């Protein structure tokens, strides 16, 4: 497996001044050799002029957050990361590779969660290249590799967890977003490590039930919410009834036997737990009539 090797190429600015001056001097020498009718001097000046022209092809530029991958006849010789103008062997093949931070958003994937319910899920992956040699030579197209492996990791993760937790302590896609995102980032990183890519962040950008079961699942969520709300209402109502009976007993407002206490508890619970306005009924007799 190839690893990135940093190469220090000479600074290009001094050579950019030196080479043209050398070419001018060599051209003047060629003119003088022609006038002197010296064949060897003419040949030497022409060869030197051609050589200087070839050496001009060794200049290359490196921008910030960029790497130039250098090869000599197919052999990797190193990567230059220092920004600026550089010069190196003109026979080197140079390939520019960006090391900037990038975003990739998957399409909305349709998968089955851990309970077999069809869901739609998508993610945003923030990544960058940290090893230019691996990104260039270990995979055919590192950008396509990031896209395919990110979707594969998302599919695998989505099938391992339910959309909603149905028991206490169960991890779910909708209820444990931060933990799920961190596990997703780790799984994508494991897949992309061989391509010289670092995954900075992975977040779920879209999560919903599939269209064919969305209505049924919405009713289920509404029913769960109603049950939870009713539970809170009943707990509060029982506490209020208990408080009312205790206050009546402490202040000796009225003496209630067991039957009247039961009737009072029943009436109070109906009033407190009803989801509609209660209608008062005036009893002109006694509870026994």
Strand partners, 76: 71
pTM: 0.67
Per-residue pLDDT at 256:
65
Cα(57)–Cα(203) distance, rounded to whole angstroms?
A: 45
pLDDT exceeds cutoff 70 at 143: yes
How much is the pLDDT for 149? 92
Question: What are the distances in angstroms from CA 140 to CA 26, 89, 97?
Answer: 45, 26, 14
**DSSP classification of residue 74:** T
User: Which of 91-95, 142-146, 161-165 comes out lowest in average pLDDT?
Assistant: 161-165
Q: What is the pLDDT of residue 127?
A: 93
What would the pLDDT profile of 195-206 be if each residue is shown by its tens digit? 899 999 999 888
Q: Is 74 left (phi over 0), alpha (psi -120 to 50) or beta?
A: left
Angle at 210 between CA 191 and CA 107, to 5 degrees: 40
Residue 199, pLDDT score? 92
Name the percent of the chain lying above pLDDT 70.
80
Q: For the residues 189-194, what does the mean pLDDT come to? A: 90
Q: Tens of pLDDT along 225-258?
A: 666 666 777 777 777 777 777 776 777 666 666 7
Confidence of residue 278 (pLDDT cuts 50, 70, 90): low
pLDDT at position 16 over 70: yes
The 10s digit of each residue's pLDDT in 33-72 is 788 777 888 888 888 888 888 888 888 898 999 999 999 9
Q: What is the pLDDT of residue 279?
A: 61
Strands in the chain per DSSP E: 59-62, 66-72, 75-80, 84-87, 93-98, 102-105, 109-112, 118-129, 197-209
Q: What is the pLDDT of residue 128?
A: 93
User: Residue 187: its pLDDT value, please?
Assistant: 92
pLDDT of residue 109: 87
Question: In whole angstroms, how far apart are CA 277 and each of 156, 167, 231, 264, 272?
Answer: 51, 35, 19, 18, 10
Which pLDDT does position 129 carry in this prediction? 92
Residue 144's pLDDT band, with cuts at 50, 70 and 90, is very high
């Amino acid at each position: 497996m190839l690893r990135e090797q940093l190469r220090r190429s000479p600074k290009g600015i001094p050579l950019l001044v030196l080479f043209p001056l050398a070419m001018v001097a060599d051209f003047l020498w060629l003119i003088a050799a022609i006038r002197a009718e010296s064949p060897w001097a003419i040949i030497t000046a022409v060869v030197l002029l051609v050589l200087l022209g070839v050496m001009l092809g060794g200049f290359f530029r490196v921008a910030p957050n960029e790497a130039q991958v250098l090869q000599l006849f197919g052999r990797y010789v190193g990567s230059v990361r220092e920004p600026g103008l550089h010069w190196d062997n003109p026979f080197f093949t140079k390939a520019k590779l960006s090391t900037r931070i990038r975003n990739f958003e998957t399409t909305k994937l349709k998968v089955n969660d851990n309970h077999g319910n069809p869901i739609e899920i998508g993610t945003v992956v923030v990544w960058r290249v940290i090893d230019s040699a691996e990104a260039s030579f270990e995979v055919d197209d590192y950008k396509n590799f990031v896209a395919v492996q990110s979707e594969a990791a998302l599919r695998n993760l989505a099938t391992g967890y339910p959309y909603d937790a149905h028991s206490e302590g169960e991890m779910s896609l909708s209820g444990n977003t931060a933990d799920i995102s961190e596990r997703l980032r780790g799984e994508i990183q494991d897949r992309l490590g061989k391509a010289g890519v670092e995954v900075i962040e992975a977040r779920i950008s879209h999560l919903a039930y599939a269209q064919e079961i969305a209505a049924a699942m919405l009713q289920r969520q509404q029913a769960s919410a109603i049950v939870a709300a009713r539970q809170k209402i009943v707990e509060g109502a029982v506490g209020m009834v208990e408080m009312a009976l205790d206050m009546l007993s402490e202040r000796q407002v009225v003496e209630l036997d067991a039957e009247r206490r039961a009737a009072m508890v029943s009436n109070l619970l109906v009033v407190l737990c009803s989801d509609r306005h209660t209608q008062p009924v005036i009893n002109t007799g006694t509870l026994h009539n």
